[in-house]
Structure 1
Amino acid sequence: MKLYQINQSQYPSSVEEDWLGSLTAGDAVLLLEAGVMRALSQPTTLAALQDQQIKVCFRQTDLDAYGIQANIGVAISDLKWVELTQQYSKIVSW
């Protein structure tokens, strides 16, 4: 199982296809920095990930900084982020 850390609101289409295509059930996606903007721009994609048994998380500090809320997935503290990194055998940052 892998933890994917996504820090951009959008990547070039080829990169988007690569990271989304590499996810498998049991993986997790942590949206942080500008990546939290996907809560507003890509809710359907994020819901589809959850339907595929992929955990979707948002860094609460970044949600607060952008003044937004995530209506899907779970918002986590920095402490929970550290705990999340310990739960997964591989961490992939995009």
Structure 2
Amino acid sequence: MLQDSSSNQTSPQVLTNQTFEGDREAVRHVIIGSPLGVRRTIHQLHALRYEEAVRWTHPLAQPSKRIAIPDNRIIITPEQGEIMSLLVKLIRLQ
């Protein structure tokens, strides 16, 4: 996993949307909410067999500054007390 050296957590700043082997693409998911809400959502997605719960990042607390995902196209600013968790999933394009 990609690591943020300041917190030993996965760093959303370096996640990019890439195509692999011509027929697969990396799709990024972000869940933002209360710690309980994020955890339950991840487990519900796991129960639906969408993705293993362990594939999501550890909860990331509210950053001290805004987080921008490549080229400043998406700016994420969780509210006080909220956390977020990230997942990059490879999907088939065909």
Q: Under a length normalisation based on structure 2, what TM-score does the superposition of the two structures give?
A: 0.32
Higher helix share: 1
Higher strand share: 2
Q: Under a length normalisation based on structure 1, what TM-score does the superposition of the two structures give?
A: 0.32
Question: Between Structure 1 and Structure 2, whose CA radius of gyration is higher?
Answer: 2
